[in-house]
C-alpha cells in the first residue's frame, strides 16, 4: 500500500494446498487459454460489512516483526481495541500469491481466537490480469487447518504500472467485475483507493478514475488519505481527512457510501494530529478508521484512536 511494490524478495516454497488451489483456478478459462469475461452482476450492497466497522490495523508483507509472532501481534491489537486486522497476502511484484504461505493461516486463526476479524488485501499491477485474478481467488478460497477463512477481501487500487490510464481503468473494471461475479453479491468486498483529494491535486495520476463502476462492485471504500504526506497539525489532519471523505461521497454520488478511512502513516503522525484525525472520523460519521500500519502506532496514538467510537448521532 504505502510501500514500493517493486521491493521483492524470495521466501520458502508455498504450501501444497495453495498449489492445488492455483492449479484448479488456472483451469478456469474458456478452453482456448483466454480469460472468461463474466457478465454484468447485480450491484454491491447486499453483503455484511461489519468487519470494516470500528478501529482497524494494517500488517503488510514488510512488517517482519508482526509476521514472526501472529499470536502476540493479535493479542497486542486486541488490548488496544482493534476490531479488524487488514493483512496483506502479496503484490504483483512477488513470485507467489502468499509471501508467507505458512504464516497466513496462523494469523487468521490467531485473529479469530482473539475475537478479531481479518480482511485480506492484495496489490494488483493490472499488467497481467490473469495473475492478479488467480492470486485474489487464492486469498478468497484459502482455508486454514481449522477450516477458517478470511472474513473479507479488499483490493489495493493504486499501481500505475499500466501507464495508459484508459487501459488501466478498463482492466481494473474488468478484474473487479470478474471478482464480484465469482464471489457473489453476498461476499463483502472492499476497494482501497487513493485519496480523492490527492487525485484532484494531481489529475495526471489517474484521469477518469472509475468511481461509479467501483461503487457498483465494491461494498466499502477505504481511502488512503495519508494526511501525514500533505498537511501538519491537528487542524490540518482534521480538515484533510474530512475533505477526502466528503469528496469520495461526492465522486460516488452516494452520501451514505460505507467508508473506512485510512489516516496518517503511523510512524509520521503526532499525537496532536491523531486527535484531529479522530475528530474528522467522528464528524463525518464514517463506519471505521485506521492508521497505516500496526508496527509504527504508538501507545499515545492508540489511546486517541480508541476514542473515535461510538460516533455521535
Residue 13 lies in a domain: no
Q: Can you give the pTM of this predicted structure?
A: 0.86
Bigger pLDDT: 312 vs 104: 104
> How much is the average pLDDT of 2-10?
38
Extract the C-alpha cell encoding 126: 493490472
The whole-number pLDDT of residue 46 equals: 84
* pLDDT tens-place string over residues 248-297: 999 999 999 999 999 989 999 999 999 999 999 999 999 999 999 999 99
pLDDT class for 22, splitting at 50, 70, 90? very low
Q: What pLDDT is recorded for position 30?
A: 35
Please, which contacts does 15-18 make with residues 24 or more away whose CB atoms are closer than 8 Å? 15/98, 15/101, 15/102, 17/143, 18/96, 18/97, 18/98, 18/101, 18/138, 18/142
38 domain-assigned: no
CATH of the domain at 107: 3.20.20.80
Reading the block at residue 265, the C-alpha cell is 502513516
In a domain, 17, yes or no: no
Is the pLDDT score of 1 beyond 90?
A: no
Handedness of CA 128, 132, 137, 139 (dihedral sign): positive
Q: Residue 67 CB: number of other CB atoms within 10 A?
A: 19
Question: Environment class of residue 64 by beta-carbon count within 10 Å: exposed (0-12), middle (13-18) or buried (19+)?
Answer: exposed
pLDDT, residue 108, reads 98
Domain count, the chain: 1
Condensed to tens digits (0 to 9), the pLDDT of residues 214-253 reads 999 999 999 999 999 999 999 999 999 999 999 999 999 9
Does the bond joining 161 to the residue before it have cis omega, within 30 degrees of 0? no
pLDDT at 7: 36
- pLDDT higher than 80, residue 146: yes
Q: Say if strands 54-59 and 84-91 run parallel, antiparallel, or are unpaired.
A: parallel
State the pLDDT at residue 44. 59
Per-residue confidence (pLDDT) for residue 45, from 0 to 100: 67
Given a contact cutoff of 8 angstroms between Cβ atoms, the answer to whether 204 and 156 are in contact is no
| Residue at 22 is within a domain | no
Helices (H), the chain: 16-26, 64-68, 70-79, 104-113, 129-141, 165-183, 196-201, 211-217, 233-252, 271-284, 299-305
CB atoms within 10 A of CB 65: 11
pLDDT of residue 33: 37
By the 10 Å C-beta count (0-12 exposed, 13-18 middle, 19+ buried), 74 is classed as buried
pLDDT > 80? residue 18: no
**pLDDT of res. 24:** 32
Q: Is 33 within the bounds of a domain? A: no
Residue 59 lies in domain: 44-308
Grid coordinates representing 268 are: 509520521
Domain-located, residue 11: no
pLDDT category, 310, cuts 50, 70, 90? low
Q: If you search the block for the grid coordinates 493479542, which residue do you land on?
A: 75
Question: Does residue 84 lie in a domain region?
Answer: yes
Mean pLDDT of the chain: 88
Average of pLDDT values for 93-97?
A: 93
Nearby residues of 41 by Cβ (< 8 Å), 6 or more positions away:
177, 180, 181, 185, 217
What are the backbone dihedrals phi and psi of residue 232, each rounded to the nearest 5 degrees, phi first? -130, 155
Each residue's pLDDT tens digit, 154-202:
999 999 999 999 999 999 999 999 999 999 999 999 999 999 999 999 9
Residue 32: per-residue pLDDT? 36
Amino acid at each position: 500500500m504505502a510501500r514500493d511494490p517493486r521491493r521483492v524478495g524470495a521466501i520458502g516454497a508455498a504450501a501444497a494446498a495453495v498449489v492445488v488451489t492455483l492449479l484448479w483456478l488456472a483451469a478456469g478459462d474458456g478452453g482456448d487459454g483466454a480469460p472468461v469475461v463474466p457478465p454484468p452482476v447485480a450491484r454491491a450492497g447486499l453483503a455484511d460489512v461489519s468487519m470494516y466497522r470500528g478501529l482497524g490495523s494494517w500488517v503488510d508483507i514488510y512488517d517482519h516483526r508482526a509476521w514472526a509472532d501472529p499470536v502476540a501481534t493479535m493479542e497486542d491489537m486486541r488490548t488496544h481495541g482493534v476490531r479488524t486486522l487488514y493483512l496483506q497476502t502479496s503484490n504483483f511484484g512477488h513470485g507467489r500469491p502468499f509471501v508467507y504461505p505458512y504464516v497466513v493461516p496462523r494469523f487468521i486463526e490467531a485473529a479469530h481466537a482473539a475475537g478479531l476479524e481479518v480482511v485480506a488485501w492484495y496489490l494488483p499491477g493490472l499488467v497481467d490480469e490473469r495473475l492478479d485474478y488467480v492470486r485474489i481467488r487464492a486469498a478468497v478460497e484459502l482455508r486454514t487447518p481449522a477450516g477458517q477463512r478470511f472474513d473479507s477481501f479488499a483490493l489495493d487500487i493504486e499501481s500505475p504500472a499500466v501507464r495508459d490510464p484508459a487501459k488501466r481503468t478498463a482492466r481494473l473494471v474488468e478484474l473487479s467485475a470478474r471478482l464480484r461475479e465469482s464471489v457473489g453479491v453476498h461476499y463483502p468486498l472492499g476497494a482501497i483507493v487513493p485519496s480523492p483529494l490527492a487525485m484532484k491535486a494531481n489529475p495526471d495520476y489517474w484521469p477518469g478514475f472509475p468511481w461509479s463502476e467501483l461503487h457498483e462492485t465494491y461494498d466499502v471504500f477505504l481511502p488512503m488519505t495519508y494526511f501525514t504526506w500533505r498537511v501538519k497539525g491537528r487542524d490540518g489532519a482534521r480538515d484533510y481527512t474530512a475533505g477526502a471523505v466528503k469528496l469520495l461521497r461526492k465522486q460516488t454520488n452516494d452520501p451514505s457510501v460505507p467508508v473506512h478511512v485510512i489516516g496518517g502513516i503511523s510512524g509520521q503522525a503526532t499525537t496532536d494530529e491523531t486527535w484531529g484525525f479522530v475528530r474528522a472520523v467522528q464528524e463525518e460519521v464514517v463506519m471505521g478508521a485506521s492508521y497505516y500500519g500496526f508496527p509504527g502506532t504508538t501507545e499515545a496514538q492508540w489511546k486517541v484512536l480508541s476514542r473515535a467510537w461510538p460516533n455521535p448521532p
